[in-house]
Amino acid sequence: LPVLAVVGRPNVGKSTLVNRILGRREAVVEDIPGVTRDRVSYDAEWNGRAFTLVDTGGWDPDARGMAERIRVQAEIAVSLADAVLFVVDAAIGITDADEAVVRVLRKSGKPVVLAANKVDDERAEAEAFALWNLGLGEPHVVSALHGRGSGDLLDAVLEVLPEAPEQEREIGGPRRIAIVGRPNVGKSSLLNKLAGEERVVVDNVAGTTVDPVDELVELGGQTWRFIDTAGIRKRVKEASGHEYYAWLRTSTAIERAEVCVIVLAGNESIAEQDMRILQEVREAGKALVIAFNKWDLVDAERRYYLDREIERDLVQVQWAPRINITARTGWHIDRLVPALDRAIEGWETRISTGALNAFLGRIVAEHPHPVRGGKQPRILFGSQVSSAPPVFKLFTTGRLDQGYERFIERRLREEFGFVGTPIEIKVQPRE
Ligand code: GDP
């Protein structure tokens, strides 16, 4: 959903206004300096359009200088939001802190709607006109307390707020799945067993090849689109001969897929090339399932070494569901769909800003960042900026140690699942 951030000094009536917009009186309380609220984002709707309202009110747990606090709020809001609702107190007029915000907002180029609150009488309304001087366009006069003007204000907001971003996947369309792996691990055996007679060939990359590239296959009551099955079945001779061509094909398939199944030969050591493919899946941000094939050839001794290889070579993809199969006979291939479902669920998981910040508060209290050169970077605020794959943005007072980022990732996984998906954490330190 598009994000609208509400910015303004404490006491300008932000919370009352937010409550008006949400049409309910619960949840949002006035700012208390030094107190962080755990809920900062809300689903809102106006005239049938849904958006996410982010209230920047209670972010900075430090009661530092007011001007500084509000400037930080504005910076965070701007980098997070699609549009900003800037609330000023018309009865008081513009303060230095407001001026600082205006500079940040202007520089960002994000659409801004200016709300002049506490316009409770005619005198205040006259004062509000002075706000044209801010250069942010028309000041929309409201009285959050009396509910006056908030409808017009919301109309103005919807005019500048972009529509929800287009979904990449056609809703309800088949999931795109790529079976990847080095030659001879059993990819085509697996595909053949899975597809059986039910395959439907679709030639969707027009003009690039005469080979059918994808197939629609029904598994576990859903239709899946298997990407580049021609490559899997080596109908194209080059695939086995030219390594570069094969690689290009693999990485294109990964790029087009939502979820990848990497097939590894359980009876052989994990190879350099396997790890290269895994890295590609991780970097492309796709959901992942690991299938150890040729399990019929895995004896107790091999099993022993395999467990060690998994610990050593697959640490980066520990989160991926693993299944052991024998493609040739079909043994355990019915475990593939549940594993795919779990991976896709993790990949698409979205956690609310409120829950994320409550979680961050808890883990920081339990395990603060180590002090570096007399300084201890703090996390001011976090937000999951996208899903499929999950990407998190953390606003901090300084760079975080690699080890600390890994700690956050590990705790995120423990807390929220994220099975089968890479996670990206972007840290945005304030200069
Ligand atoms: P691809 O190159 O990854 O598509 O691999 P193929 O599916 O062509 O399989 C390569 C070879 O491994 C063939 O001889 C298959 O019969 C054999 N193979 C595939 N799966 C299994 C399995 O589960 N067990 C055993 N023993 N052999 C298998």
Q: Which of 332, 347, 362 is the C-terminal boundary of a domain?
A: 347
Distance CA(84)–CA(75), nearest Å, equals 11
| 244 band by pLDDT with thresholds 50, 70 and 90 | low
Atom of ligand 1 nearest to the CA of 183: 2
- Based on the fold, state whether residues 78 and 200 are members of the same structural domain: no
Residues in a beta bridge with 42: 53
- Pick from 116-125, 252-261, 285-294, 391-400: least confident: 116-125
Atom of ligand 1 nearest to the CA of 233: 4
Range of the domain at 405: 353-429
Distance 190 CA to ligand 1 centre (A): 8
* Residue 65 covered by a domain: yes
State the residue for tokens 């001087």: 133
- Based on the fold, state whether residues 282 and 134 are members of the same structural domain: no
- Based on the fold, state whether residues 70 and 192 are members of the same structural domain: no
Highest mean pLDDT among 78-82, 185-189, 251-255: 185-189
* pLDDT at residue number 164: 62
Distance CA(191)–CA(188), nearest Å, equals 5
Phi then psi dihedrals of residue 397, to 5 deg = -90, 0
Q: Which residue has the higher pLDDT, 327 or 58?
A: 327
294 CB less than 6 Å from ligand 1? yes
145 CB less than 6 Å from ligand 1? no
- Based on the fold, state whether residues 211 and 226 are members of the same structural domain: yes
Concatenated DSSP letters of 2-59: -EEEEE--TTSSHHHHHHHHHT--SS-----TT---S--EEEEEETTEEEEEEE-TT-
Distance 266 CA to ligand 1 centre (A): 11
- Is 57 annotated for ligand binding? yes
* pLDDT at residue number 27: 46
Residue type present at position 15: S
Residue range 144-165, pLDDT digits in tens:
777 778 788 889 999 998 876 5
Q: 192: which 2 tokens? A: 């053949």
- Is 36 annotated for ligand binding? no
Q: Which DSSP state fits 282?
A: H
| 197 band by pLDDT with thresholds 50, 70 and 90 | low
ipTM: 0.97
* pLDDT at residue number 417: 92
- Based on the fold, state whether residues 339 and 302 are members of the same structural domain: yes
* Residue 367 covered by a domain: yes
Residue type present at position 124: A
* Residue 170 covered by a domain: no
Please state the domain count of the chain: 3
Residue range 394-408, pLDDT digits in tens:
999 899 999 999 999
Distance 421 CA to ligand 1 centre (A): 27
Looking only at the bridges linking them, the beta strands covering 424-429 and 259-265 are unpaired
Distance CA(119)–CA(131), nearest Å, equals 12
- Based on the fold, state whether residues 179 and 259 are members of the same structural domain: yes
SS (H, E, C) 174-217: CEEEEEECCCCCCHHHHHHHHHCCCCEEECCCCCCCCCCCEEEE
- Based on the fold, state whether residues 143 and 179 are members of the same structural domain: no
- The CATH number covering residue 232 comes to 3.40.50.300
Q: Which of 99, 133, 160 is the C-terminal boundary of a domain?
A: 160
- Based on the fold, state whether residues 210 and 74 are members of the same structural domain: no
Distance 184 CA to ligand 1 centre (A): 6
- Is 186 annotated for ligand binding? yes
* pLDDT at residue number 203: 52
The alpha-carbon radius of gyration of the chain (Å, integer) is 27
* pLDDT at residue number 266: 97
Residue range 355-385, pLDDT digits in tens:
999 999 999 999 999 998 888 999 988 999 9
189 CB less than 6 Å from ligand 1? yes
328 CB less than 6 Å from ligand 1? yes
Q: Which of 125, 160, 195 is the C-terminal boundary of a domain?
A: 160
- Based on the fold, state whether residues 9 and 154 are members of the same structural domain: yes
Q: Which residue has the higher pLDDT, 102 or 240?
A: 102
Residue 286 has pLDDT above 70, yes or no: yes
Distance CA(271)–CA(293), nearest Å, equals 14
* Residue 165 covered by a domain: no
| Residue among 54, 93, 48 nearest 74 (CA) | 54
- The CATH number covering residue 412 comes to 3.30.300.20
